[in-house]
Chains A and B, each alone.
Chain A
């Protein structure tokens, strides 16, 4: 804080370069503080997820064919340390603490602090890290594409409905954007498969390969969000178009095109910027429905299946992955917000 206070005293602040330096210093301090609060938050979230899956009845080995005898199940539990008290299991998961091994006290191996989520309890030949490493790139690329689809369709539609507000173009556009929000992916997916995959075989029906395979899933996943983005854009643009600085710009004779694209859009997009943090986090960790429908080897399927199977380590690993992504993206959103809207004060 003192650094910032000293910076504020410097006369350099009153020049343009000084103002920029001031802005950077403030946002850097803000950024660092946010990153620092992120760690305890992730810890709390991991603890909650850790407890939540264990609260539910049933265990990871209930559905196994083999462990008919209690002995086998006991051994399995002992192998994965599920017979220990909960606090010890959690410390082991985090990777902080000591235990007596072969008569000597030694630190826990692996654990979250070393970036290790542990072995999957369901797919026991794989670690959670392996499964994430295999599926995440697939889910990431599908998610990125759907994100581009959502913004690429949503923003223009939103702008268009906002500048034609109250006319038939607005009604038609708004109808379609609300329709997009009301058709769930598990309806749109089959419809697209039947029409564009089976009836008129333009696209492959499923699996993951060349660029042609990505299109139907990306549309299925992105349509809902395109509708949502378009509604947000319409609202933000409508408000921006009614603010005083637009009236001033109009009075000065700025062209309509420039008013919309250069002045109003910058403010009108702020709601979309806020929304795109959670949106991107949702898209990047994959979707159960879409990956299931199109048989795509991503990690979206695991989030649902592992919590149904009580694959404890897998659930916690995926929850941490999701929440870290969400928190990081929200941080990025806040920084972008400040770049777009200079009135935002970090503090």
Chain B
């Protein structure tokens, strides 16, 4: 896609570290850099907007107003400013995606690294479990997790913090549930990597000087898996965001008055009828969702080119 100006031989001569080489290669990948700038701006805007304006929560008489100078994105069924709502939704969607991806990272890396490193019977047991989980439809898992734990967690939150714990509980479960269904591929990838690394000489050397299993895993194997994990993490993020928007669309995710991009799209498409189409209620949240997902995908692709340069870029 982009010419790699920094060949290994050149790097050896100038004495560049692998990380610096990776950074230089990333900097040359224009779509990925543009995507990260876009993401940073979007995150900053989503975080800062509630401090600037509280229009998103204010109900008004102006129901279903088309986009104008006063309301850039128009208003929704309750006369709320859609621009504020979309930014709030972006914030929630990003948060769900980030935490879900991190949960999947922790489970996947631990599971895969344990399986790959222990090998033998343990490997068999752990990976067959992954196979079984793969062949269950994940939507059932999510629904069961959300409904099972909701009551328990809600009660616990009310007892500990008092007041309304329902919304927080639902959000926490959404994070956990989405993480819990998307770690399988991560576990497979990490296992494969660890299996290959385990036979390398530096691991043998570490073992011969008497390092324990845990030290070898933490200090020698996991740092080497880092690149692949980061790449896969950036590719899991959009998947989790998409899944969350699907759940919110079903009514299982974020509940009103809270908003995620998925629930905003659901609200918009509920208003479709043959006589009148409030296009802005779908177009803006959907546009934001698509832009967000595309930026994350470009970033992930860029990072993969950096950490996993299998294909020669000089073609």
Contacts and interface: CB of A to CB of B under 8 A. Distances in A.
Are A and B bound to each other? yes
Interface of A: 41, 44-45, 48-49, 52-53, 55-58, 165-166, 170-171, 178-179, 181-184, 186-187, 190-191, 193-194, 198, 235, 238-239, 241-242, 285, 288-289, 303-304, 307-308, 315, 318-319, 322-323, 326-327
Nearest to B315: A165
Contact of A304 (B250, B262, B282): B250
The secondary-structure label for the interface of chain A is helix
B132 A238 contact: no
Interface stretch (B67-75, B81-89, B141-149, B209-217): B141-149
Contact of B312 (A242, A285, A289): A242
Contact of B290 (A179, A238, A241, A315): A179
A251 to B, nearest CB: 17
Given A239-B311, A288-B250, A307 B144 contact: yes
Q: Considering the complex of A and B, which 5 residue pairs feature the smallest CB-CB distances, nearest first? A: A182-B293, A323-B135, A187-B286, A190-B269, A182-B290
B272 A194 contact: yes
Given A56-B147, A183-B286, A242-B315, A178 B298 contact: yes
Contacts of B2: 166
Contacts of B151: 57
Nearest to B291: A182
A193 B272 contact: yes
Nearest to A238: B311
B266 interface: yes
Contacts, number: 120
Interface in B214-273: 238, 242, 245-246, 249-250, 252, 262, 265-266, 269, 272
Given A239-B311, A241-B315, 15 more contacts: A56-B147, A57-B148, A165-B315, A166-B1, A178-B298, A182-B290, A182-B294, A184-B242, A285-B137, A303-B137, A307-B139, A307-B144, A315-B140, A319-B140, A327-B135
B137 A322 contact: yes
A322 B277 CA distance: 37
Contacts of A44: 132
Contacts of A190: 269, 272, 282
A178 B294 contact: yes
B297 interface: yes
A337 to B, nearest CB: 17
B136 interface: yes
B140 A307 contact: yes
**Which of A48, A190, A193, A198 has the most C-beta atoms of chain B within 10 angstroms of its own C-beta?**
A190
A300 B250 CA distance: 13
